[in-house]
């Protein structure tokens, strides 16, 4: 019976569309209309279309005019009603209202029935006018079937940006974000990779969110149809089940960001390159970084304080103190979030310097320093070094912390511990530097041997603890001749050779710097 009604309706639509001009607004209706005369007449529970009306009517779009009508001016109505187009007579909301500066708000409704049918943001604001002049459904409604017709689903950010810009600058903020570049031409290699598109293409991400258990990596669209992570990727225009019409709930353990920013790996593979580690870092997940045996790893307070995870610091769900809306859709971290917990934050960092504004208590500078030390050791590695487990473990930790991208802010204790352990447990086979067994109890710089020498001599030094070590050679008047050592070493006894064949005979000095230990000794080159 339902199939028969549907067939009859389809025939009615075709015949009506041929005879009458198209692209008039029907309005969403309330579900009581005859089928084919409103969106809700078909799109309700138990009807012939998907029951989208039942969930849409609970969204803020459905209340866009009703909830704000006391403060909306005439110029606001174009984004709070349906079909606003003063240049065309197509039964849009503008045809039922006139501007009137003598009234407050500055307009008057001249047809209350017609206006009531087109108030708020309805289906046709996004899908276009779908009716004929006689109020029946037009052929344009069926254009979505092959995804290329007049009613093809529109995943672009510009569609939302038509209204979400200016005084509500979501579109401008989004345009400045990396989400807007997730499917950029420069990332063509990503778009061609089926395992990447789920987090780079809006259509794929929506498919993943709708059915995560059955989603299969595939490229759903090609060419000009590909959209980056636009508004509709994260926000469902038809459903307000979750806060802000997000496609998933906001909980302590997971938010929608985690679908892409939380690498779903079962274990750490030091032979691989870690990818997207921010969610793992924030959670203190056991698969963030390589954990050295016998070491204890502790998470920072952010792991527990970020009750809405990424949203706490990267998105602002509440108005600013002055009442303005700044939603944070650039997704850059907000200093206001830090000030909520750290009362001295604003006086402890340089807010005018974007590179320093999150370096609270030296979190970022310390992390970056450790990264530099470990990078230096990795850089000095030989081909043989790179095949060792020690190298792979240390390199994995370096890459994991870098892939987190927060310079240690997400999980300071854990990130810095992973770096320090990597530094302490890896020493490349640097040419000319040799290690002797045993752990000394004091810092020491020995006299070079032989002395005088020609042209090679050996310098010994001892470290009771791990430290960044610098050994520099100076000439008799204090000019730097060469730097023999400038890297991190774990506790131990070391010796380094200096070949002075390129230098003239004379008196030279060598100096060691290791934490608070400094010492200078003299040597003589005699040719």
pLDDT, tens digit, 9 for 90 and up, residues 510-524 = 999 999 999 999 999
462 assigned to some structural domain: yes
Neighbour count for residue 206 (Cβ, 10 Å)? 22
At 5 the pLDDT is 44
Tell me: pLDDT of 211 over 80.
yes
262 assigned to some structural domain: no
Residues across the chain: 527
Cα separation, 7 vs 2, whole angstroms: 9
Rg for the chain, CA atoms, rounded: 33
For residue 167, name the pLDDT band (cuts at 50, 70, 90): confident
For residue 319, name the pLDDT band (cuts at 50, 70, 90): low
Tell me: pLDDT of 241 over 80.
yes
Which of 153, 183, 200 terminates a domain? The answer is 153
Q: Which residues pair with 474 in a beta bridge?
A: 480, 509
Which of 86, 120, 153 terminates a domain? The answer is 153
For residue 20, name the pLDDT band (cuts at 50, 70, 90): very low
Crossing angle of the two packed helices 412-425 and 389-404, in degrees rounded to 10: 160
Tell me: pLDDT of 320 over 80.
no
Greater confidence (259 vs 149) lies with: 259
Cα separation, 408 vs 23, whole angstroms: 55
Cα separation, 374 vs 363, whole angstroms: 17
- In order of 70, 94, 127, 149, the CA distances from 144 in angstroms are 37, 27, 9, 6
Evaluate whether 430 touches 319 at the Cβ level (below 8 Å): no
Block residue for tokens 């060419």: 223
Peptide bond into 450 cis (omega under 30): yes
503 assigned to some structural domain: yes
Average pLDDT of 173-182?
95
Give me the number of domains the chain comprises: 2
Q: Which of 312, 201, 301, 305 is nearest to 250 (CA)?
A: 312
DSSP state of 443: -
Block residue for tokens 């949203």: 311
Q: Tell me the per-residue pLDDT of 366-411, one tens digit each, with 9 for 90 and over.
A: 999 999 999 988 988 888 888 889 999 999 999 999 999 999 999 9
Q: Tell me the per-residue pLDDT of 441-495, one tens digit each, with 9 for 90 and over.
A: 999 999 999 999 999 999 999 999 988 899 999 999 999 999 888 888 888 899 8
At 166 the pLDDT is 81
User: What contacts 134, CB < 8 A, 6 or more positions away?
Assistant: 16, 20
Q: Which of 126, 118, 97, 109 is nearest to 38 (CA)?
A: 118
Query: Which range of residues forms the domain containing residue 119?
Result: 2-153
Percent of the chain residues topping a pLDDT of 90: 67
DSSP state of 519: E
**3-state class of 150 per DSSP?**
coil
Cα separation, 256 vs 37, whole angstroms: 37
DSSP string, 445-465: EPPPBSSSBSSEEEEEEEESS
Tell me: pLDDT of 153 over 90.
no
For residue 119, name the pLDDT band (cuts at 50, 70, 90): very high
Sign of CA dihedral 396, 358, 173, 257: positive
Sign of CA dihedral 51, 57, 62, 66: positive
Tell me: pLDDT of 254 over 50.
yes
Dihedral pair phi/psi, residue 42, rounded to 5°: -115, -30
For residue 427, name the pLDDT band (cuts at 50, 70, 90): confident
Evaluate whether 384 touches 429 at the Cβ level (below 8 Å): yes
β-pairing verdict for 467-474 and 97-99: unpaired
424 assigned to some structural domain: no
Evaluate whether 358 touches 333 at the Cβ level (below 8 Å): yes
Evaluate whether 232 touches 355 at the Cβ level (below 8 Å): no
At 425 the pLDDT is 87
Peptide bond into 455 cis (omega under 30): yes
Sign of CA dihedral 319, 325, 328, 329: positive
Dihedral pair phi/psi, residue 510, rounded to 5°: -125, 140
476 assigned to some structural domain: yes
Cα separation, 277 vs 267, whole angstroms: 13
Which of 128, 153, 178 terminates a domain? The answer is 153
Cα separation, 449 vs 465, whole angstroms: 24
Say which CATH number the domain at 473 has.
2.60.40.1930
Cα separation, 511 vs 501, whole angstroms: 20
At 17 the pLDDT is 40
E strands present in 351-505: 433-436, 444-445, 456-463, 467-474, 480-489, 492-499
Evaluate whether 335 touches 358 at the Cβ level (below 8 Å): yes
Greater confidence (227 vs 263) lies with: 227
User: By CB neighbour count within 10 A (0-12 exposed, 13-18 middle, 19+ buried), where does 311 fall?
Assistant: buried
Q: Tell me the per-residue pLDDT of 339-362, one tens digit each, with 9 for 90 and over.
A: 889 999 988 998 888 888 999 999
451 assigned to some structural domain: yes
263 assigned to some structural domain: no
132 assigned to some structural domain: yes
Percent of the chain residues topping a pLDDT of 70: 91
Tell me: pLDDT of 272 over 70.
yes
């Amino acid at each position: 019976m339902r199939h028969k009604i549907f067939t009859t309706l389809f025939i009615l639509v075709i015949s009506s569309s041929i005879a009458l001009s198209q692209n008039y607004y029907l309005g969403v209706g309330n579900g009581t209309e005859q089928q084919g005369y409103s969106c809700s007449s078909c799109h309700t529970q138990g009807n012939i279309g998907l029951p989208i009306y039942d969930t849409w009517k609970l969204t803020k779009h459905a209340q866009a005019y009703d909830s704000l009508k006391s403060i909306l001016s005439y110029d606001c109505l174009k984004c709070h009603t349906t079909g606003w187009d003063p240049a065309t007579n197509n039964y849009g909301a503008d045809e039922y209202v006139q501007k009137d500066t003598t009234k407050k708000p500055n307009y008057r409704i001249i047809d209350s029935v017609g206006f009531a049918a087109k108030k708020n943001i309805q289906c046709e604001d996004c899908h276009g006018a779908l009716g004929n002049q006689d109020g029946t459904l037009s052929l344009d409604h069926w254009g979505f079937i092959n995804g290329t017709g007049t009613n093809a689903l529109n995943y672009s950010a510009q569609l939302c940006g038509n209204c979400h810009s200016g005084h509500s600058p979501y579109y401008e903020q989004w345009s400045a974000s990396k989400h807007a570049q997730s499917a950029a031409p420069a990332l063509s290699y990503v778009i061609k990779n089926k395992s990447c598109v789920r987090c780079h293409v809006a259509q794929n991400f929506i498919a993943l969110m709708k059915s995560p258990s059955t989603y299969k990596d595939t490229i759903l669209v090609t060419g000009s149809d590909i959209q980056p992570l636009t508004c509709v990727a994260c926000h469902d225009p038809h459903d307000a089940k979750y806060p802000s019409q997000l496609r998933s709930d906001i909980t302590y353990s997971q938010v929608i960001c985690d679908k892409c920013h939380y690498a779903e790996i079962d274990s750490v593979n030091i032979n691989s390159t870690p990818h997207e580690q921010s969610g793992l870092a924030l959670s203190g997940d056991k698969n963030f970084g390589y954990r050295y045996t016998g070491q204890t790893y502790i998470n920072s307070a952010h792991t527990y304080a970020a009750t809405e995870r990424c949203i706490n610091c990267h998105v602002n769900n509440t108005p600013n103190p002055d009442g303005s809306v700044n939603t944070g859709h650039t997704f850059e971290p907000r200093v206001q979030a830090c000030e909520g917990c750290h009362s001295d934050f604003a006086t402890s960092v340089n807010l005018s310097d974007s590179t320093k504004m999150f370096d609270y208590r030296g979190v970022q500078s310390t992390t970056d320093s450790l990264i530099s030390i470990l990078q230096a050791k990795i850089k000095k590695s030989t081909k043989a070094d790179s095949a060792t487990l020690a190298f792979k473990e240390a390199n994995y930790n370096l890459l994991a912390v870098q892939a987190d991208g927060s310079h240690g802010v997400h999980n300071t204790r854990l990130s810095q511990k992973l770096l320090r352990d990597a530094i302490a447990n890896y020493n490349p086979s640097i040419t000319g530097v040799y290690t002797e067994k045993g752990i000394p109890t004091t810092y020491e710089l020995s006299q070079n041997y032989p002395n005088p020498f020609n042209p090679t001599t050996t310098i010994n030094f001892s470290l009771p603890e791990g430290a960044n070590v610098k050994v520099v050679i100076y000439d008799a008047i204090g000019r730097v001749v060469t730097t023999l050592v400038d890297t991190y070493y774990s506790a131990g006894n070391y010796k380094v050779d200096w070949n002075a064949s390129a230098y003239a005979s004379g008196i030279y000095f060598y100096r060691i710097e290791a934490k608070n230990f400094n010492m200078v000794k003299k040597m003589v080159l005699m040719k």
